[in-house]
C-alpha cells in the first residue's frame, strides 16, 4: 500500500499520551457482598413519582436490543421517550443478525449452573478485565430476561413436553443457552421492538427513523441533547432532552470486513467521545472463529456461521504443509484435529479467541485449505453418520443453506471452510455502575459501552447484556439520575445547540468541497487492511507503531482526496458513508494506541511479546489489571489516559487454561 510516511520529527518524539493527573472517576460500585450490591443499590436509588414521569424527556439513540428494550421499559414507566435510528425501521438494527442464542442462569438442565457460575465464567472468559459487580448483576438479571422474552412471545425452541429447550454454547460446560432456531437475535429484537411499538401506540415513545446522530450537545457539562441529520431530506435537526441513552452498537467495521452489518459505525460514540465521554479499552475486539472465508476484493462483509456448529462439527487441517488434496481424499491419519489434540477437555469448544488464534497459526504454517490457503475445515461427517442427516438438518439447516448460497458448496457432502473474522467489540464508551459515561446524563447501553465482557466475550452473552442494560438496568439508573438532578433550561436555540449544529454542517460541507478521486469505500478498505494486519488477531510493537504512523497519513489523504458527489440537502448515501469513514480514521488511531500501551496479552488482545511457552496469551496482572479510559484532547494531540483499577474479591485471577 503506497501511503507516504509523514515527516519524522527531528527532536525527541512527543509523548503518545498523557497520564491523568486527576483522580479516577468514581465507578459507583456499591459496597457490601457481591450478591447484595445490586439489590442494595436499587433500594438506594431515587424514584420519580408516576405522575411526574411524563415531564422528563429521554433520547434513546439506536433501537437494537439495548435501545429498543430501554425505550420500551422507560416508555412503560411513563417517561417521554424519543427513539432515533439510522434504519428505516427499528427492527433492522444489527442485533437482528445474531444467530446462536442467549444465556440465562436458569439451571433448567440441573447440570450445575447458577448465577454465581455464570458470573464466574464471564469474568474468567473475559480474562479478568471486567468489573465483578457489573458482571454479577448481569448474571442475576439473566433469568429475568428469559422470563420477559418468553412472555412477549419469543418463540424459543421447545422440547416435546412443552418446556423450553437449551444447549451448551461456545466454551460453556453447562447448558444455559436458549435459542430460537438460528435466529435468536431476530426473535429477541422483534420481542423488544414489539414492546416498544406498543408504547408508540400508547404515546410514550416517538420513533424518529432514518436519523443519524452526528453530535452530542452538552450544556454546563451535562448531556442535554443531540444533533441529527435527516437521512432523507438532509436536514440538520436539534433535539433537547433530560437524558441521552446511546445504544448505537459496536465498531467492528473499523476493520472494513467484519460480520457486522454494513451501516454499523462508531460515529455516535466517537462524536460523544469528542465532547468528553471517555473511551475504554478500544483495542479489545473479538475475532470470531467460524466465518465464511473471503472470496475476493469485491467482498463487502463477512458472514458468520453460528458457533453452535462447533457442537457437532470437527475442525481440522491436513497434517502436512502444502497438502492441496480435496478434503475427501485426505485419509484420517493425515488430518490434524488440532483443537481436540491441543485442548483435550474443551476440544472444538474452546473460547473464541483461542479457536481463532489457532486457525491463524495453522494457516501461517501453510496448512490452511481452500484456494487462498486462508481457511480451515469444519467437518460434519462424523455426526452426520452418528446422528443422521435429519438431526443435523434440524439443528443447522438454515446455516447450511446460507453457506451454500454464498459459496456454492454443499456442507452435507464437503466440509465447510471457515476462517476467523472480526465480530464484536468489547471496548466502548466508559460507563460507571449506573451505565453513565463520564458526561453526566449520557448513558451508554449494549455493545456501545465497554462494561461487562472484559477482554473477551463469551458466546450468547451480548444479547444478554444488551437486554440486561435495556430492560433491567436503565429503568433503575435513569430515573435515579432524573430524580437527583436539578435541570436548567436547555432549549434547542441554546448556544450549545447552535455551536454543535454549525460544526456538524461544517464537517458535511468540508467533505463535499473536496471533490477528490478516492471513494469512501476505498478509504475504508485501506484502513481496514491496516487494522486487520496490525491491530487484528495478533499485535506487536512494531506493527502498532507502523499503523500509528500510517493512520494519520491516510486521514490527511482522505481530506485531500475524498470523492463524494451530490449535496448535503438530499438523501446522499456516499456522504453518510464518508462521515463514518472520517470518524473511523480518527478512532482507529486511539484503538491502535490502546493496543500499543497494553503490552500484556489478555483475551482477544494478543500481544506477541507476551505469551506463555505454549503460545497462550500471558496476562500481566501487576501492571494491567485496569480499564484504560481515554479522554479526547484533539486530533493530533495526545489523549489523557485514566486507569480504573479492577478489584477481584471473588473470582481470583488465574492463568486461563483450556487444556
Partner 1 sequence: MIVAPALQGTRHHGMRIKLRVWRQAGPDAQGRLEDHQLDDISPDMSFLEMLDVLNERLIKAGDEPIDFDSDCREGICGTCGLMIDGRAHGPLPGTTTCQLHMRTYADGDTIVIEPWRADAFPVLRDLSVDRTAFDRIIAAGGFISVNTGAAPDANAVLVPKADADLAMDAAACIACGACVAQCKNASAALFTGAKVSHLSLLPQGSPERARRALRMVQQMDAEGFGSCSNEGECEAVCPKQISIANIARMNREFTRASLGGAS
Select from 173, 574, 599, 611 the one that contacts partner 1 (CB under 8 A).
574
Specify the stretch interacting with partner 1 by CB under 8 A; choose among 96-104, 217-225, 308-316, 485-493: 96-104
* CA torsion angle 533 535 541 545 (round to 10): 80
Min. distance of Cβ 66 from ligand FAD in angstroms? 4
Q: Give catalytic status of residue 555 as yes or no.
A: no
Residue 290 in contact with partner 1, rule: CB under 8 A: no
Residue 408 in contact with partner 1, rule: CB under 8 A: yes
Cα–Cα nearest to 126, from 653, 659, 586: 653
- Per CB under 8 A, contacts with partner 1 among 258-277 are 261-263
279 near 293, Cβ under 8 Å? no
Quick note: the x/- pattern for partner 1 over 482-521, rule CB under 8 A, is: ---------------------------------x-x-x-x
The C-alpha atoms of residue 399 and residue 391 are separated, in whole angstroms, by 14
Of these partners, partner 1, ligand FAD, none, which one is at the site of residue 248 (CB under 5 to 8 Å by kind)?
ligand FAD
Unique residue bearing C-alpha cell 503506497: 2
- Per CB under 6 A, contacts with ligand FAD among 197-236 are 211-213
CA distances from 103 to 31, 93, 106, 143, 176 (A): 27, 20, 9, 9, 5
Of these partners, ligand FAD, partner 1, none, which one is at the site of residue 296 (CB under 5 to 8 Å by kind)?
partner 1
In the set 167, 229, 271, 352, the catalytic residue is: 352
- Per CB under 6 A, contacts with ligand FAD among 520-559 are none
Backbone angles phi, psi at 377, to 5 degrees: -85, 145
DSSP string, 567-597: -TTS--HHHHHHHHHHHHHHHHHHHHHHHHH
211 near 263, Cβ under 8 Å? no
Specify the stretch interacting with partner 1 by CB under 8 A; choose among 21-29, 213-221, 300-308, 530-538: 300-308
User: Which runs of consecutive H residues, i.e. helices, occur in 468-572?
Assistant: 474-484, 495-514, 520-535, 541-561
Measured from the CB atom, the residue of 32 and 565 that comes closer to partner 1 is 565
Specify the stretch interacting with partner 1 by CB under 8 A; choose among 18-26, 149-157, 272-280, 422-430: 149-157
The C-alpha atoms of residue 650 and residue 658 are separated, in whole angstroms, by 21
The C-alpha atoms of residue 30 and residue 480 are separated, in whole angstroms, by 15
Residue 197 in contact with partner 1, rule: CB under 8 A: yes
The C-alpha atoms of residue 98 and residue 518 are separated, in whole angstroms, by 33
Burial class (CB in 10 A: 0-12, 13-18, 19+), 435: buried
Measured from the CB atom, the residue of 161 and 634 that comes closer to partner 1 is 161
Of these partners, partner 1, ligand FAD, none, which one is at the site of residue 39 (CB under 5 to 8 Å by kind)?
none
Of these partners, ligand FAD, partner 1, none, which one is at the site of residue 267 (CB under 5 to 8 Å by kind)?
ligand FAD
Unique residue bearing C-alpha cell 502498532: 544
- Per CB under 6 A, contacts with ligand FAD among 142-161 are none
Measured from the CB atom, the residue of 338 and 472 that comes closer to partner 1 is 472
How many residues of this chain interact with partner 1, rule: CB under 8 A?
A: 88
* CA torsion angle 155 157 163 167 (round to 10): -140
Cα–Cα nearest to 584, from 259, 281, 215, 271: 271
The C-alpha atoms of residue 626 and residue 642 are separated, in whole angstroms, by 10
Residue 331 in contact with partner 1, rule: CB under 8 A: no
Select from 56, 278, 424, 584 the one that contacts ligand FAD (CB under 6 A).
424
Residue 651 in contact with partner 1, rule: CB under 8 A: no
- Per CB under 8 A, contacts with partner 1 among 46-75 are 69, 72-73
Residue 373 in contact with partner 1, rule: CB under 8 A: no
Min. distance of Cβ 99 from partner 1 in angstroms? 8
Min. distance of Cβ 544 from partner 1 in angstroms? 30
- Per CB under 8 A, contacts with partner 1 among 171-190 are 180-181, 183, 186-187, 190
- Per CB under 6 A, contacts with ligand FAD among 426-455 are 446-448
The C-alpha atoms of residue 267 and residue 249 are separated, in whole angstroms, by 10
Residue 209 in contact with partner 1, rule: CB under 8 A: yes
Beta strands in 273-345 (DSSP E): 279-280, 285-291, 314-318, 335-336
Residue 477 in contact with ligand FAD, rule: CB under 6 A: no
The C-alpha atoms of residue 483 and residue 460 are separated, in whole angstroms, by 34
What grid cell was written down for 241? 432532552
Rounded CA Rg of the chain: 24
Of these partners, partner 1, ligand FAD, none, which one is at the site of residue 268 (CB under 5 to 8 Å by kind)?
ligand FAD
Quick note: the x/- pattern for ligand FAD over 80-109, rule CB under 6 A, is: ----xxxx-----xxx-xxxxxx-------
The catalytic site residues sit at: 352
Contacting positions for ligand FAD (CB under 6 A): 61-67, 84-87, 93-95, 97-102, 184-185, 211-213, 247-250, 259-260, 265, 267-268, 304, 423-424, 446-448, 460-463, 466
Amino acid at each position: 500500500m503506497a501511503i507516504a510516511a509523514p515527516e519524522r520529527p527531528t527532536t525527541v518524539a512527543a509523548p503518545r499520551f498523557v497520564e491523568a493527573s486527576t483522580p479516577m472517576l468514581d465507578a459507583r460500585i456499591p459496597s457490601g457482598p457481591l450478591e447484595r450490591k445490586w439489590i442494595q443499590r436499587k433500594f438506594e436509588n431515587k424514584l420519580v413519582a408516576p405522575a411526574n414521569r411524563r415531564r422528563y424527556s429521554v433520547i434513546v439513540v439506536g433501537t437494537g436490543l439495548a435501545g429498543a428494550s430501554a425505550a420500551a421499559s422507560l416508555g412503560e414507566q411513563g417517561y417521554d421517550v424519543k427513539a432515533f435510528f439510522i434504519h428505516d425501521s427499528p427492527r433492522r438494527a444489527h442485533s437482528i443478525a445474531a444467530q446462536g442464542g442467549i444465556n440465562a442462569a436458569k439451571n433448567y438442565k440441573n447440570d450445575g449452573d447458577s448465577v454465581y457460575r455464570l458470573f464466574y465464567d464471564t469474568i474468567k472468559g473475559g480474562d479478568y478485565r471486567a468489573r465483578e459487580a457489573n458482571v454479577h448483576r448481569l448474571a442475576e438479571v439473566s433469568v429475568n430476561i428469559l422470563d420477559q422474552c418468553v412472555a412477549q412471545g419469543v418463540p424459543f425452541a421447545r422440547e416435546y413436553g412443552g418446556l423450553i429447550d437449551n444447549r451448551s454454547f461456545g466454551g460453556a460446560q453447562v447448558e444455559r443457552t436458549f435459542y430460537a432456531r438460528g435466529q435468536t437475535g431476530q426473535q429477541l429484537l422483534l420481542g423488544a421492538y414489539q414492546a416498544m411499538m406498543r408504547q408508540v401506540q400508547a404515546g410514550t415513545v416517538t420513533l424518529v427513523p432514518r436519523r443519524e446522530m452526528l453530535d452530542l450537545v452538552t450544556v454546563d457539562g451535562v448531556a442535554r441533547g443531540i444533533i441529527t441529520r435527516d437521512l432523507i431530506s438532509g436536514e440538520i435537526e436539534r433535539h433537547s432532552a433530560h437524558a441521552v441513552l446511546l445504544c448505537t452498537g459496536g465498531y467492528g467495521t473499523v476493520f472494513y470486513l467484519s460480520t457486522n452489518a454494513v451501516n454499523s459505525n462508531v460515529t455516535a460514540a466517537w462524536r460523544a467521545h469528542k465532547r468528553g465521554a471517555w473511551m475504554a479499552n478500544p483495542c479489545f475486539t473479538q475475532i470470531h472463529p467460524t466465518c465464511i472465508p473471503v472470496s475476493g476484493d469485491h467482498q463487502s462483509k463477512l458472514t458468520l456461521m453460528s458457533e453452535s456448529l462447533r457442537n457437532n462439527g470437527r475442525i481440522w487441517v491436513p497434517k502436512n504443509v502444502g497438502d492441496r488434496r480435496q478434503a475427501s481424499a485426505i485419509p484420517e491419519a493425515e488430518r490434524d484435529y488440532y483443537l481436540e489434540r491441543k485442548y483435550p477437555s474443551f476440544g472444538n469448544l474452546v473460547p473464541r479467541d483461542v479457536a481463532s488464534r489457532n486457525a491463524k497459526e495453522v494457516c501461517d504454517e501453510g496448512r490452511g485449505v481452500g484456494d487462498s490457503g486462508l481457511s480451515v475445515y469444519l467437518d460434519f461427517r462424523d455426526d452426520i453418520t452418528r446422528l443422521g442427516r435429519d438431526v443435523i438438518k434440524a439443528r443447522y439447516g438454515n446455516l447450511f443453506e446460507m453457506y451454500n448460497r454464498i459459496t456454492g458448496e454443499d456442507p452435507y457432502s464437503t466440509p465447510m471452510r471457515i476462517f476467523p473474522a472480526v465480530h464484536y467489540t468489547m471496548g466502548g464508551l466508559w460507563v460507571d455502575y449506573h451505565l453513565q459515561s463520564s458526561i453526566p446524563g449520557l448513558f451508554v447501553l449494549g455493545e456501545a459501552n465497554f462494561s461487562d465482557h472484559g477482554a473477551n466475550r463469551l458466546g450468547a452473552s451480548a444479547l444478554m447484556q444488551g437486554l440486561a442494560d435495556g430492560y433491567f438496568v436503565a429503568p433503575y439508573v435513569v430515573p435515579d439520575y432524573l430524580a437527583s438532578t436539578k435541570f436548567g433550561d436547555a432549549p434547542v436555540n441554546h448556544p450549545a445547540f447552535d455551536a454543535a449544529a454549525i460544526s456538524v454542517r461544517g464537517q458535511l460541507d468540508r467533505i463535499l468541497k473536496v471533490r477528490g478521486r478516492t471513494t469512501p469505500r476505498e478509504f475504508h478498505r485501506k484502513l481496514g487492511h491496516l487494522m486487520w494486519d496490525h491491530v487484528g488477531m495478533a499485535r506487536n510493537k512494531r506493527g502498532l507503531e507502523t499503523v500509528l504512523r500510517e493512520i494519520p497519513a491516510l486521514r490527511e489523504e482522505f481530506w485531500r482526496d475524498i470523492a463524494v458527489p451530490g449535496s448535503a440537502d438530499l438523501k446522499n448515501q456516499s456522504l453518510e458513508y464518508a462521515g463514518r469513514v472520517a470518524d473511523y480514521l480518527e478512532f482507529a488511531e486511539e484503538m491502535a494506541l490502546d493496543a500499543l500501551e497494553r503490552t500484556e496479552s489478555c483475551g482477544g488482545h494478543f500481544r506477541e511479546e507476551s505469551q506463555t511457552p505454549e503460545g497462550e496469551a500471558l496476562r500481566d496482572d501487576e501492571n494491567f489489571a485496569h480499564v484504560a479510559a481515554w479522554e479526547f484532547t484533539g486530533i493530533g494531540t495526545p489523549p489523557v489516559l485514566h486507569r480504573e483499577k479492577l478489584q477481584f474479591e471473588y473470582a481470583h485471577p488465574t492463568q486461563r487454561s483450556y487444556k
